[in-house]
Structure 1
């Protein structure tokens, strides 16, 4: 059990650009007898305060000038890479996608503004109880590991054979831990896929009803030409959003790991559709140069799409001031090539050899995990292909994916 006094002494950090919100929350916490509360209205100070105070709870607003709440969460995750970092998001956002994003990148819970102060206190207490339990478990874990180490050292001195057995046991435990971590990661991805499919389904049904109604209006009502154009435009936009929902559902469907003959142009177009709004916002012009009669290729569909999406995202982030993104395909004797070229910032020569290394990124701590290109490289290699890159700093980059036309059809996981 967690002692009530331990909860009241927990360190709390509040980050909100509205001083009125800070004042109300501080008064509420003081009345509830919390004794260690720090606040800031400048989100740029959040990471340094977190580094110094190591709070047990962060109350975080999402929409702030200078640096939004998503960036603050990413910075905190870098500081607490292997620990429980409890973040309670306080937001007026009604869009479920915004809330989902906050939970996905590391927030533990969220509350909607305007706030119910009694509910705020309840959520704070619940999260702090989990936080303090987690800290106690870490302390116990460290103590147990220390005792095991000391006893193991004694046994090593007594018997060399036992030393080998303990080493083998330790290796087995580490392997088991890796498997458990992989299973946990797979469960999280599966849950995310189910949630995405559910959201896509909920969007699809009302959109289908809207589209059918508009089609009935168009077919059964005499309208002026200008109104006919508006109704037809609405029908087309409904179809586009329904198609986007279908692509989201397909993209998050768990991988079968089984290759199938895939039309690469269709797969690339699906990923371009997902990035269409991002390109428009960043003023990135798209140019497609597809080869005529490109043969289908035997690949795992969602894995190939993941590679294309990673490369498109990489090109997107390389063009913060806009530019041109070109997608080309070519059919050679025994291979096909997909080329994605941007007119962005390019890659410094000294970084070229490290581009496909795990965790290497030039995007800084907030944006980049350094895994996108590494994962893409591994997927293409498992398909018997290759990824090459050419880049000139200040002018842009080319990523060329090569895949064999004929493969042996083995499962790729």
Structure 2
């Protein structure tokens, strides 16, 4: 059991506490924010050694993401505890304890409680700095991405304008040639391939113009229900081709949304075509539109392979695609992202358990 504390012992304990504070400060100062678990373990070890009865004590540091224990933790224990706060919010706790069988609450010195509070405060400040650093890194990445997209937007706008005229000429003259040589079956098929390729290229140019914001918006308050229904209806042949079922749900028959009709259709087309492409034969795609107090939510889910973790951060980047070469321009989701942002909305993707992906778009009301 614990003994009364002499002056000599108090001085000895005080030295241990000051040494502990110095060591903890050094550990935090040298930390580069990358290995917080080892840092907390080092703090726990130093704190345990500074306690009056280190061999019998245990130290537990818990945060939202980890739990560190040094010493033998007893279920039936007495302890002192201090909250770890990050920006005034509870982030975790630090606890020092003994077996209740051998010790009483008097085993703890008043200075040890001050020490525990000080270390909890130091840990809280560390995690505040860590969060600030992470936000700075994220902000810098977003700034760099905006700069790159701005430059890319200017380039793609120029490319789109330059390609429009020659593509129109290719389509026009190929149609004339097809009419002139309509008796030549092989030649007609080859000319049709040229037309199909030109049409595909024209669609890519159109997406480039959407991406570079060269397509003027005609924003108006509309009932989005018939527009979305019509867009899905136009894709019926695509559903039939893979024998995919579609489920369409609206929580109201009149959902008012301030939007550009053409761009809203483009959003639905791109997301549903993607869902069809990645869906298995006999799969199911669900499209739902719900109006709530704050916004209008459009969600499209499929039963495909889902988005790989190593691709999740890049899927809205222009020219990024997981489709084989020749089967995708990598602009579809980038265009969707740009349109949603221009409508002051937000888009995210989630796993559709047990398999597949859900894209969720939130548009502000009017």
User: In which range does the TM-score fall when normalised by the shorter chain?
Assistant: 0.3 to 0.5
Structure richer in helix, relative to its length: 1
Tell which structure's C-alpha radius of gyration is larger: 2
TM-score computed with the length of structure 2 as normaliser: 0.43
